[in-house]
Structure 1
């Protein structure tokens, strides 16, 4: 062995002994993976310790220190420490981490500590392995949305951290826009932070807002009770007030449910009490329940009158795999006054709604069997008609199509027999329903509501047989159907001499009506390809789906004829014309139905493909259809209206949907149709009876569409009604990462009118919404609806938003519409401080 090699070997062995064998340690085994990473396998330690660096390792044999330069890393049991310089003193058993400066004097390689989801950075970290004490300067730690800065900190042997010059904030910047200045504090890991005097600083300027002491919980799982600060409303139509003063507490016995009580009070006597309860069980179900009571005091001189309102909102969703037999879901939105305009929130999305639907569903399935049983309670409220439609309850039994004759053949070898293709399906519905005015509910006239209840049972049995023809190109499907209706209310017409007219008497009792029909349908798919002139290789694919069917239904109805009145007028009617399940026709029916659906798809070369071998498909028309029928047993006007439908998406983000109906019959000077074709009366091919078209387009950049989708996913991770609303309407989220977006919707509807002065009734609206960032921090948004027929604005809302990084300043103005007002809001962007907001409102009467 050469002398040079012996000296090198002695130096390496000595370095490893100093580095990895301090006094008091057990004998270790050393494994060298490469020249800059050394693993130490110690029987007294639970897992492997590894460290590395990018630049160099310097050993000071005299002082027993090791220095690692350039992106130094130390890993142990999921804990990772990084810094640009890490020094280890094997005699004192200390480790020291510090940053270095680059050529421009900037800090690089700032020490960082990571342990699972928790991490912190500091200017220096000094830790003693023997005493388990540490000294830290300029520490910054993060836990979810909270950031904690420590000027000077010491880690004690019991793992508590004592520090001074602290900052508590939700702003992630090293120099936060706002923070709570902590003079001194003690942090108990995973428990709490107990502080001395603290006060709020904004942009480095102290404010008089503060507390003599505070306790900030930092537990990962457990939540504590606490008050929620209200929103202060200096000016509103209800006066000065405090809105949503709350008290929050989780249910101690379970971490799957939490509830919050809110209260609002205004100087003119209006108040509101509500409760929101959120619950969630992983892989089982989740939901939110909102209960609210409001009392509105009317302005002088009717200030002695109060309007009461009760709100019940409940959304429950069961996971698909939670139970294979039972499913329970609910979507309840009940407003006791049947309107969304009575709300303390001027930006409530329900202000513009006319329909409030509620339903609760319980479904029982039988795996391996085609049977499903459902129980449903539903309530439909309409503020325009001032009616309520209640289904309390509805019981349904559905038997999906099954093949009862498949088990007859014992030998399954060979083709399927014709009788094995016969399918049978069945459904039953039992319902208790009432339609009544909303005033009966507000006046608590439950006796009159009960009088309007209708109940009945409906059975539907169908037998189907499909047949493939012409090498399975054409499908012939034949269906026989039988319907049985059982109503417990019926009518009997009589002439009332006092009223001098025919009236209906409602009879209570079981009444049965039935009908049977048979239908045969012939359908197929036809494909056509069209080449374009030139060598571009572009082709268009055309798919046609024609269908022709005949339906026969003999007259088995309960229609009857009676002679009533002094003039012996003849009345032909059904006893069940006002019942829950009504009869369709009182005659023989023979319908010949026809339909033709078309789709068009373009196949062309991908311009981004430099080789030119990749093709791209673009759908030109999603659906273009025509349909109608002819009744062979009808006396006059046997053709129905011709229905046309069109749906296409010419561009990404643009959707066009249109439909129209045309009658082929002529009409007189009063606009009434009669039994003569329009073309024979020189009135063209027919007359338009109704048509509508709706066009929607979202103008924005391609990458912004991805951000809108990302916002939708992020909103789904939070509980609460506000987050859930924006999850369903992600295009309405104010996101400063999206520089601009514009949503434009145009709707046009025309319908035939019997009035001679106005033959067609037309409505046409243009809705414009969107937002634009005219600077990096300022964004203006607009939501406006314009009636193109009346040439006026029906509703307009303008908002101006200033992004202050961790705070947001917003101005909302509604100059046109039924809720004219303005609102100034200053709120925190962090979900932790979502209740920290200040609002200034101006009601309509002050404008």
Structure 2
């Protein structure tokens, strides 16, 4: 019983303690006992005790990866009509304008069903009570867009099945639109973000993807967006009709920007050279700034041609192109009488520098050189428009300006001119020019220049060149330098001007030239051979020359007022007469002499071969007369709201010039020249000129020292005359109201993008009629029907010249050139270019061009019906640059 007593005592004490604590819980205070560190350390456990006591699985790591979350982002969805959640089917139904957004995926459709267990969506169209479908699905993932009839898409695998999909792919340099590739497929399987597999697809660039005017049918294809389409058997359909244009397999590049690729050739045949291919080759974009295309022509008789073209550009720096062509043309076959072989070449270079690149220096080039008969003998159609080129010209120059006062402009130029008829080539290798700005030595730069001394000024310029004249036979050979001439000319012009008697303007001038040459001649008579021998002496030599001149002129005005109530209110006549005098001394010191076979002394100058002319042996002293006229009228404006009268230039210029030689012993008066221009008829400028001789002529047609008026004639003989004019006409000029009414109609037009569209399609001012109301659709608006007015334009140039030097009274040139265009329909256009020689009664090179817009195709027919270049050329092909190699062309044989 002893343990029980102790147990009862323990319980009693415990109950008392609890009661005390609960009654005095707020009176508890901590004991001030200081804590000290225990000096006894607990023993450490062995390092492997856990491993020894716990069993470890023999497989260290589970090879099965943990399953990722089913969805990586939140799915947002909505619909206009209703959103229904079916827990029984584990699906969400969205109806009418349904939309789902998940990461970069966007899906819109009329009906969408989402299975949230399988993480799949089904999208389709809506069907109304009449059986018409609307709200086709729109699927977008990243930058790729697809417009199918229905689609099934899995969010986990990112795979999809698409029925009747339509997508648009930009390729090359084109923009999305008419130049983009439209891809249609009955069934498409989306493997991943970058690979699609298509079945029964259509490829086209037509705007109408539902009923395209053409397409390429592919049975099976692999489609990589923005990169390529690799297809099996493919053939072309036109208006759903199959054509024989087919390939066992096809590759369609869809790479954006420039991409390397094959340039498809043109096929044909020539009776003298056989079958040929033209303009086939390869295109290579070398960098972002330079590209290169190499093409070639080949004929079965051995003729061939090579062309290399490169275009380069760098923004704000420079741009240009290089074209090099070579042709080896073989006619007939070797062994035949008409066999011949010729080679032609042509080099064209163009380079221009942006002005912002370097304000004080500039480099430019324009080169066109080659065989004279390159354009006329070339069989390549691209050279057809240049077949009448008679002159080739080239220029490569570098110029630099030194802006510090006095500023100096310098330039170094290499030039070339070539006549394709005479085959004469003139070259400058090179020409150096430098000129200093005008300096006023007797006045400061910022001061006003008044008086004869303050206006004294001078300049300095130098011109040096190496001139070569050769023929095409010696071009690029050592013989071309045999006739080279080198020289330089320094020139210092001095001038001043001042007012005399308030109304007269007087100018004084002088000019000094110093000419350098690197060769001179020596001439003597050889008694043994009885010939005059000319020797060329190499070495530096020089001569100088100078001249003086003065002129005085004024301006006179005459006005006639007829009243503001008159149609012609006033006339104003302006005359600017001037008289000038020039003097050039004789430079006999630069002349030598030799004795000819008759014992007579013959003078010559050693500087006859100078490219800057020879020093004058005869003294010159002459008076020149000039009279310039202009006549204009003030005419009351037809517009009643106009506050000012309208100015009409009756004569914009009428000038007379003549001179009198004070040093000549006979025939001192020069012929009188007249030139003028008028535009008294609106849009019809007329330029005319004539020459009058005050002296008579003898029976041999030579001028004699007898005035024509004293010989029984008039004051002066008309020896030559010419007149030319050019004007343009178009259909708008003959419309009621003219251009002003047209501008108002265009502002009110519903078809402002169409230049032939008018607002009132039934009124008298309409340009075309769209037809009945049941045909008023978008397709008819793009192809309107013309009523009774066809847009057209025409340009005319008339030239006539007259010669009567020896009383022959002959019209030397009398021709009319004309060209224009007629737009028969909005899709049909006819152009022409021709001329008629009224003197020789014959037409010049006449050309007709017919063009037809066939929607996705372009048709053209170029016809020269007669003449030296009689021929025709037919072309039809796809307008889009993506499929521009699909074409057919044919041409006549020469």
Give the aligned CA root-mean-square deviation in angstroms.
4.7
Q: Aligned in 2, Cα 1:96/1:795: closer, same or farther, shift over 3 Å?
A: same
Q: What does the per-residue CA deviation read over 1:759-804, in whole Å, with 9 as the maximum and x for residues that have no partner?
A: 6461222223233344454444333333222212343333444432
Q: Kindly indicate whether residue 799 of structure 2 is the aligned counterpart of residue 747 of structure 1.
A: yes
Q: 2:226 maps to what in 1?
A: 190
Q: 1:691 maps to what in 2?
A: 721
Q: 1:786 maps to what in 2?
A: 836
Q: Aligned in 2, Cα 1:296/1:425: closer, same or farther, shift over 3 Å?
A: same
- 1:310 aligned to 345, 362, 366, which one? 345
- 2:688 aligned to 649, 653, 658, which one? 658
8 A contact 1:605–1:613 mirrored in 2: no
Query: For structure 1, which segment, 154-163 or 381-390, has the greater mean C-alpha deviation from structure 2 after superposition?
Result: 154-163
- 1:677 aligned to 707, 732, 749, which one? 707
Cα distance in 2 for partners of 1:504, 1:201 equals 79
8 A contact 2:136–2:147 mirrored in 1: no
Shift of 1:569: 3.8
Q: Aligned in 2, Cα 1:93/1:106: closer, same or farther, shift over 3 Å?
A: closer
SS at match of 1:679: coil
Kindly report which structure 2 residues correspond to 1:502-651, keeping only aligned pairs within 5 A, or say none: 502=532, 504-529=534-559, 531=561, 534-536=565-567, 542-556=573-587, 558=589, 560=591, 562=593, 564-583=595-614, 585-601=616-632, 604=635, 607=638, 611-613=641-643, 619-649=649-679
8 A contact 1:338–1:381 mirrored in 2: no
Kindly report which structure 2 residues correspond to 1:756-775, keeping only aligned pairs within 5 A, or say none: 758=808, 760=810, 762-775=812-825
Shift of 1:202: 1.6
8 A contact 1:287–1:316 mirrored in 2: yes
- 2:433 aligned to 377, 385, 396, which one? 396
Q: Kindly indicate whether residue 205 of structure 2 is the aligned counterpart of residue 170 of structure 1.
A: yes
- 1:435 aligned to 469, 473, 478, which one? 469
Higher RCO by CA contacts (8 Å cutoff, separation 6 or greater): 1
SS at match of 2:386: helix
Q: 2:419 maps to what in 1?
A: 382
Cα distance in 1 for partners of 2:712, 2:141 equals 85
Shift of 1:560: 3.2
Kindly report which structure 2 residues correspond to 1:255-270, keeping only aligned pairs within 5 A, or say none: 255-270=288-303
SS at match of 2:522: strand
Q: Aligned in 2, Cα 1:247/1:791: closer, same or farther, shift over 3 Å?
A: same
Cα distance in 2 for partners of 1:378, 1:234 equals 40
Kindly report which structure 2 residues correspond to 1:171-250, keeping only aligned pairs within 5 A, or say none: 171-174=206-209, 175-224=211-260, 226-250=261-285
Q: Kindly indicate whether residue 457 of structure 2 is the aligned counterpart of residue 457 of structure 1.
A: no
8 A contact 1:162–1:187 mirrored in 2: yes
Which sections of structure 2, spanning at least 5 residues, go unmatched? 1-70, 86-91, 734-738, 747-752, 754-784
Shift of 1:445: 5.3
SS at match of 2:435: strand
Which sections of structure 1, spanning at least 5 residues, go unmatched? 1-22, 27-39, 41-50, 52-56, 711-735
Q: What does the per-residue CA deviation read over 1:115-166, in whole Å, with 9 as the maximum and x for residues that have no partner?
A: 99x9987778999999978868553526322231324567676265555544
Cα distance in 2 for partners of 1:499, 1:82 equals 104
Q: Aligned in 2, Cα 1:126/1:425: closer, same or farther, shift over 3 Å?
A: farther
Q: What does the per-residue CA deviation read over 1:324-371, in whole Å, with 9 as the maximum and x for residues that have no partner?
A: 232111111112346632212356233212111111111122244521
8 A contact 1:84–1:100 mirrored in 2: no
Q: Aligned in 2, Cα 1:136/1:616: closer, same or farther, shift over 3 Å?
A: farther
SS at match of 1:348: helix
8 A contact 2:372–2:419 mirrored in 1: no
- 1:279 aligned to 287, 290, 312, which one? 312
Q: Kindly indicate whether residue 736 of structure 2 is the aligned counterpart of residue 700 of structure 1.
A: no
Shift of 1:512: 1.7
Q: Aligned in 2, Cα 1:299/1:209: closer, same or farther, shift over 3 Å?
A: closer
8 A contact 1:809–1:827 mirrored in 2: yes
Shift of 1:74: 13
8 A contact 1:112–1:119 mirrored in 2: yes
Q: Aligned in 2, Cα 1:24/1:264: closer, same or farther, shift over 3 Å?
A: closer
Shift of 1:808: 3.2
Shift of 1:309: 1.7
Larger radius of gyration: 2
Q: Kindly indicate whether residue 363 of structure 2 is the aligned counterpart of residue 328 of structure 1.
A: yes
Q: Aligned in 2, Cα 1:159/1:307: closer, same or farther, shift over 3 Å?
A: closer
Q: What does the per-residue CA deviation read over 1:390-414, in whole Å, with 9 as the maximum and x for residues that have no partner?
A: 1111111122324455559xxx788
8 A contact 1:561–1:570 mirrored in 2: no
Q: 1:816 maps to what in 2?
A: 866
Q: Aligned in 2, Cα 1:839/1:159: closer, same or farther, shift over 3 Å?
A: closer
Kindly report which structure 2 residues correspond to 1:800-815, keeping only aligned pairs within 5 A, or say none: 800-815=850-865
8 A contact 2:431–2:464 mirrored in 1: yes
Q: Aligned in 2, Cα 1:537/1:184: closer, same or farther, shift over 3 Å?
A: farther
- 2:457 aligned to 403, 417, 423, which one? 423
Cα distance in 1 for partners of 2:273, 2:811 equals 41
Query: For structure 1, which segment, 691-700 or 300-309, has the greater mean C-alpha deviation from structure 2 after superposition?
Result: 300-309
Q: 1:319 maps to what in 2?
A: 354
8 A contact 1:315–1:332 mirrored in 2: yes
Cα distance in 1 for partners of 2:151, 2:651 equals 66
Q: What does the per-residue CA deviation read over 1:420-472, in whole Å, with 9 as the maximum and x for residues that have no partner?
A: 5443322111111122233333xx7523x22211111111111232435666x
Q: Aligned in 2, Cα 1:753/1:310: closer, same or farther, shift over 3 Å?
A: farther
Q: 2:879 maps to what in 1?
A: 829
Q: Aligned in 2, Cα 1:104/1:768: closer, same or farther, shift over 3 Å?
A: farther
8 A contact 1:83–1:97 mirrored in 2: no
Q: 2:777 maps to what in 1?
A: none
Query: Could you tell me the TM-score, scaled by structure 2's length?
Result: 0.72
Shift of 1:485: 0.9
Q: Aligned in 2, Cα 1:626/1:413: closer, same or farther, shift over 3 Å?
A: closer
Cα distance in 1 for partners of 2:859, 2:891 equals 14
Q: Aligned in 2, Cα 1:559/1:218: closer, same or farther, shift over 3 Å?
A: same
Cα distance in 2 for partners of 1:313, 1:824 equals 27
SS at match of 1:462: strand
Q: What does the per-residue CA deviation read over 1:640-687, in whole Å, with 9 as the maximum and x for residues that have no partner?
A: 222222234456764433333222222112211122322222221222
Q: What does the per-residue CA deviation read over 1:35-86, in whole Å, with 9 as the maximum and x for residues that have no partner?
A: xxxxx9xxxxxxxxxx9xxxxx9564767999998xx999999x99999989
Q: 1:724 maps to what in 2?
A: none
Cα distance in 1 for partners of 2:855, 2:679 equals 38
Cα distance in 1 for partners of 2:595, 2:128 equals 106
Q: Aligned in 2, Cα 1:414/1:507: closer, same or farther, shift over 3 Å?
A: closer
Which is strand-richer, 1 or 2?
1
